[in-house]
Structure 1
């Protein structure tokens, strides 16, 4: 998840104003840079052959061919050369590996549409057949070319499915975004932006000898799903009046998916995309405050579309009043002002739908409920373009960062683990009523109906003793049915406003829960908690979120500056368990930080900040990606490979919390053999999205928003991906892109 420019995401990142209690109420006290840390040389010794740039790396590791590796075997230690921290404008990979750009913003996936041209930006409608922007979560689905269906053993052909989270307007348009004299956005720009959101499905082919990967542009499987694509609702909130709009009075369908961040995949072979910071796409009029019920105003505020009071003076002592003596409120502006476009190519309703104000006589006559159409997990069958994607409402509505399925074990219920990426938000799981049956592989949306429509939604509470509870979010829970802040009408209401239900049951406020990963070897669940600048102030430290400290360089961070990764194991290893045990697997930190900040013992070969993307490959190698702003004076964002132990392999620990300390539980300290930096990205980027071919010989990652800090289209801070092959390029527009990484000797990645 990334800071949007010029949009400010504060309205989405910090909306939990509930008074849920914490394990310890430790008030933050003044802490100075000098008292926190004195920079000293790290105890780690960097390897002399830390890394090479892809463009000039050696052709081989040692001049000899390594023995063939069993691709299904988990390595006992990591042996690739760690990549050094750097600020280069390319993707840097280990010696003996090479990175190639596969699919960048604007690239065509249809033979009828030409290549991207920096100097002749393609039309908005053409982006229905081009790569969207800001590549994010991603999964590979093996393709059986005989049956045309999913086959998890196939590496020579596959469907690569990836999210396009948002857009960088500066480089998407010829000269950045524009408005006419009346403040309206040009329709072609809006169409381009809408189509640049969503999901790509691309058919890739890999040469079994050279491992070279290409996109087959003539494939019938290639398609785009955008912020205009029609989608169905399914699950317990489908057909609820809370989802009614002018487009679908019956609440059976909607249009579009956007701000798709993390992802997941089902054991039956479908893709799950997560709708994260969706709320900022909608306009809300200040006059709307008095057209809403008390419940509606509570819900809109809790999800980030609340209104602020308008004042006459800067001291905010004299309120503006209307003719009836009511306080006036400011308009809540939308991120991209899509609602301002006037129709010429599309129908006007395509733009009106971004206005969430009460303008009609009922909810079926306007789009007052349109925010409730987003914030869901969306299921997409990559192999079936005939049926509409499905928003699975039983999994709850919030700023979904990711969704990962438990191990598919015959005869056991499936669980879907999810994080809500905002400061002080929660970790959830949905447990299906139906037990897994392998006969449902390739069952498509029918299998989705079977496993994702009926079940129980839970939220996590972490206790100070290393245990935790899953609390069911249901109207049968008195804490929910009797909640005085918001009156829940039924279970559809609970699911649509899952955040409020979680408030009601006093779930644990976490440090921005982002991606989830499930260890295929033992079922343990890992969640990245990327950072929280308000930990120690608005949110007191607790055992599960124990650190509050200051970044020693500059003013980049305070609170939980560098983030951590928490993990838990269900009691009795059953997905239906309502209790679990937890510890903190890994603390992000600079290698030189104090021991009670760098609790995991990171060195210069593996230190990192702000873990975000994360994925276990089927062997059990954990891939960790960063989206950072605190350590970027030293290094661009990165990806690391890890060989984690098991929950409880460490013990009790004491973390720095302001001028005090906080007790917690942590995993064993890491070593260079079980955690190494595998990749560093180009300037101003986030590294996100990771998947592999089943033979482990090609790994795909996404580079999001390179050059994000640029001030203008012709004043870019990055020129990647052009610099990947031509480091001297100083004119190309930066573009988000998918990268494929292989070994030059054709071997197994991290094997």
Structure 2
């Protein structure tokens, strides 16, 4: 999710068809205030949740960390936090994506930037695109009819959900059948439904919206590799997971008093998942999804430090779900802990439609963009995670047990994320403070770079944060990370290890509050004030071991349009030869280890539709940004999957035509039919979709 301005506004109305938009008039360029309102609850119009004054060691000149420096930096409240040693050499194994191998074949001529008002899906010459599945498409029975004006909540739970984000296609060995797994971040009732005229109609729309959240699992088939897919209605794998689906908690906080409610006195069986953003696919074939801006769905007392740190408040929510389900009003007796049951990493097994999805408490609770897993030579797995908030943190989880190859070990591997060590990152720069000017100008050594530490929050199931129990660290992870002095970042969203090299890439989308009055200024890992365009950080774990507690880092990209933006940087590649790019959000890799970046926010920063971009990471082409596709008006690009050996790319097109209304739609993607038409599932309005791009 992306916003581009941070000024406050009044509390929105819950019942208006078009509620008051606090970001209206305050976003940059053509950025939609409706996206800000519905996607993240106007996060940038609210106070920054992180008000801590964490130290940042910008003046560390010696990049080689001594043992004394590490321990001194980890002193909290007079107690030294234990730092685990680096555990030998290890080479990461392929975790997600097609893996290493021969050079990919996905050649293309970069497209020109597409003006932000264009309602078209644009691909390079020689390629075609086709929607794979759209909001409202039936999954379980062809008798389920898509009609947004009359659909019931019961039918909506059987249809493909709204605003898809994370995407993966899990192919069978023959490449002719497979499973698509997608999550659904949020809904926009203003363009989904006609205006409600009765309380009963408003109630129905809210329940349909609840059913349109969550995840979809969809069976696929095709003629052969390289050909576009068709989805199967009624396939065995097909499944919807919604805001009401029963889950289980795993890990040290499962059953904690902090997770118990009147509906679940054991604190082990939460119901539903919300605001699912990015994700990851594990080496054992399950899919992880991150619960992100969950605070906007709940009304709470709003008085505790935890409520404030997580953005909960005592005000009516925009969606009004507290009017149809008491658990969304945490002021109700017995539901005080309901908000604690969201904000986790969710794991879904697409091979078993009957298995309850799991929320992993060992990975901590915050605004998860997603989680991505890599396996070290030792067999331990590491999951990397970003907290998508201004001035929040980068995290890593390392499993206690080891990954084992083979399907007979799949059940054991599915328990790897239930126990282990949780860390938060502290970045150390190697340039003088005076050389970090906030403009993006490189310091005298020619790079924004340095070293870093993974500071432990939980080791072997035991809290490493004085004053916090293990359960408190995991349920209130932001507060625990504050206490150990983690480094404030510019909205770290997707964090993914490269399956070919093992290096880790962090997409920092933006932070226009950096350098504002009373807030932290430029730091070497976040070197621009009023950072509207975002940047990408490259991490290398010490000894190339994901268990390491130290790492090296450098900034790969300082994004923007070099023609209009000062302080851009493209890993040393000539800026006049790159495609302009802004607001990096999700990342992926092809079989050669090239980085692919999807964006969210370009209309409001550089005036172009969001898109998908390729960035080589090695050799003379390192840093050369090349635009592959652009999504339609009002949309962001999500969930990229790049299968270059098949010459196929998949993306999710989220919130096309976001600023429209039922009567005045602003996009007609992907069907582009006449407004008001509804026949054979073709409706005159935007339908968030998964799109496949291929060579015919």
Whether the 8 Å contact between 2:615 and 2:623 is mirrored in structure 1 is: no
CA RMSD of aligned residues (A): 2.8
Q: Relative to structure 1, is the Cα distance of residues 278 and 720 closer, same or farther in structure 2, using a 3 angstrom cutoff?
A: same
Q: Which residue of 2 aligns with 1:419?
A: 386
User: In the alignment, is residue 437 of structure 1 matched against residue 410 of structure 2?
Assistant: no
Q: Indicate if the aligned counterparts of 2:378 and 2:402 stay in contact, CA closer than 8 A.
A: yes
The CA deviation string for residues 417-446 of structure 1, in whole angstroms up to 9 with x for no partner, is 0000000000000000112211357714x4
Distance 1:633 1:122 in 2: 39
Match of 1:614 in 2: 587
1:99 aligns with 2:99: no
Quick one: distance in 1 between partners of 2:122 and 2:533?
Answer: 22
Task: State yes or no: 1:81 paired with 2:60.
Answer: no
Partner residue in 2 for 1:733: 685
The Cα shift of 1:402 comes to 1.4
CA 738–14 in structure 1, closer or farther in 2 if over 3 Å, else same: same
After superposition, where does 1:345-424 map in structure 2 within 5 Å?
Answer: 351-357=325-331, 359-360=332-333, 366-406=334-374, 408-424=375-391
Matches within 5 A, 1:643-658: 643-645=616-618
Distance 1:477 1:243, change over 3 A: closer
Q: Give the SS at the match of 1:5.
A: helix
Question: For residues 42 and 285 of structure 2, what CA distance do their matches in structure 1 show?
Answer: 36
Structure 1 position 155 matched with structure 2 position 175: yes
| 2:134–2:689 Cα contact (<8 Å) kept | yes
* Cα contact 2:255–2:267 (8 A) shared by 1: yes
With 202-211 and 430-439 compared, the bigger mean Cα shift is at 202-211
Q: Is the 8 A contact 1:85 1:634 kept in 2?
A: no
1:622 Cα deviation from its structure 2 partner: 1.9
Asked whether the 8 Å contact 1:571–1:580 carries over to 2, the reply is: yes
Match of 1:457 in 2: 422
Counterparts of 2:617 and 2:341 in 1: how far apart (Å)?
Answer: 38
Find the counterpart in structure 1 of residue 171 from structure 2: 142
8 Å CA contact 1:185–1:337 kept in 2: the answer is: no
The corresponding residue for 2:694 is 742
- How far did residue 627 of structure 1 move? 0.3
Verify the 8 A CA contact 1:82 1:605 in the aligned structure 2. Answer: no
The answer as to 2:520 corresponding to 1:539 is yes
Aligned to 1:502: 481
Measure the CA separation in 2 of the matches of 1:352 and 1:185. Answer: 19
**Which one of 630, 654, 661 corresponds to residue 704 of structure 1?**
654
The aligned counterpart of 1:53 is none
Cross-structure match for 2:210 = 194
- Rounded to whole Å, the distance in 2 between the matches of 1:437 and 1:696 is 29
Q: 1:178 to 1:401 in 2, by over 3 A?
A: farther
Q: CA deviation at 1:394?
A: 0.2
Tell me the distance in 2 between the aligned counterparts of 1:279 and 1:422.
12
Distance verdict in 2 for CA 1:476–1:138, change over 3 Å: closer
Offset from partner CA, 1:336-394 (integer Å, 9 cap, x none): 111112xxxxxxxxx0111111x43xxxxx11001110111011000112221010110
**Do 1:107 and 1:116's aligned partners in 2 also have CA atoms closer than 8 Å?**
yes
Q: 1:598 to 1:586 in 2, by over 3 A?
A: closer
Give the alignment partner of residue 539 of structure 2, picking from 564, 568, 571.
568
Counterpart residue number, 1:584: 555
Unaligned runs of 5+ in 2: 3-34, 60-98, 431-449
Q: State the partner residue of 1:521.
A: 500
- Corresponding residue number in structure 1 for 2:54: 20
Change over 3 Å in CA distance of 1:209–1:223 after alignment to 2: closer
Query: What CA distance in whole angstroms lies between the structure 1 residues aligned with 2:252 and 2:462?
Result: 20
2:622 pairs with 1:641? no
Q: Measure the CA separation in 2 of the matches of 1:213 and 1:200.
A: 16
Alpha-carbon deviation of 1:693? 5.4
Q: Return the alpha-carbon distance in structure 2 between the equivalents of residues 480 and 494 of structure 1.
A: 9
Residue in structure 1 matching 2:146, options 116, 139, 153: 116
Q: Give deviations 1:499-546, integer Å, cap 9, x for gaps.
A: 111101110000000012211121000010000011112221100000
Asked if 1:336 is matched to 2:288, the reply is: no
Q: 1:134·1:166 contact (CA, 8 Å) conserved in 2?
A: yes
1:720 matched to which residue of 2? 669
Distance 1:115 1:721, change over 3 A: farther
CA shift for structure 1 position 409: 4.3
Equivalences for residues 29-428 of structure 1 within 5 A: 72-75=101-104, 79-87=107-115, 88-117=118-147, 120-143=149-172, 153-173=173-193, 175-176=194-195, 180=199, 186-208=202-224, 211-285=227-301, 289=303, 297-306=304-313, 331-341=314-324, 351-357=325-331, 359-360=332-333, 366-406=334-374, 408-428=375-395
DSSP 3-state at the match of 1:443: helix
Counterpart-to-counterpart distance in 2, 1:728 and 1:79: 40
SS in 2 for 1:268: coil
Distance 1:399 1:11, change over 3 A: farther
> What SS is found at the alignment partner of 2:236?
coil
Q: How many equivalent residue pairs?
A: 594
Residue 568 of structure 1 aligns to a residue whose secondary structure is strand
Deviation at 1:632, TM superposition (A): 5.9
Structure 1 position 112, deviation (Å): 3.9
**Cα distance change on mapping 1:455 and 1:209 into 2, 3 Å:** closer
Q: Is the 8 A contact 2:299 2:315 kept in 1?
A: yes
* Correspondence 1:680 to 2:654: no
2:639 paired residue number? 689
Aligned equivalent of 1:670: 623
Determine which structure has more spread, i.e. the larger CA radius of gyration: 1
Q: Distance in 1 between matches of 2:139 and 2:644?
A: 23
Cα distance change on mapping 1:727 and 1:171 into 2, 3 Å: closer
Change in 2 beyond 3 A, CA 1:185/1:560? farther
Contact 1:155 1:693 in 2 (8 A): no
**Structure 1 residue 204 displacement after superposition:** 1.1
Q: Rate the CA distance shift 1:14–1:176 in 2: closer, same or farther, 3 A.
A: farther
Give me the TM-score of the superposition, normalised by structure 2. Answer: 0.80
Q: Using the TM superposition, give the Cα deviation of residue 692 of structure 1 relative to its aligned residue in structure 2, in angstroms.
A: 4.6
Asked whether the equivalents of residues 675 and 684 of structure 2 are also in contact (C-alpha less than 8 Å), the reply is no
Q: Distance in 1 between matches of 2:650 and 2:461?
A: 44
In the alignment, the residues of structure 2 paired with residue 441 and residue 591 of structure 1 have an alpha-carbon distance, to the nearest angstrom, of: 52
How far did 1:14 drift? 2.7
Number of the residue aligned with 1:5: 37
Please give the secondary structure, in 2, of the residue aligned with 1:424: strand
The alignment partner of 1:200 has SS state of strand
Alpha-carbon separation, structure 1, partners of 2:594 and 2:462: 42
1:597 equivalent in structure 2: 568
User: d(CA) in 2 for partners of 1:265 and 1:478?
Assistant: 28
TM-score (norm 1): 0.74
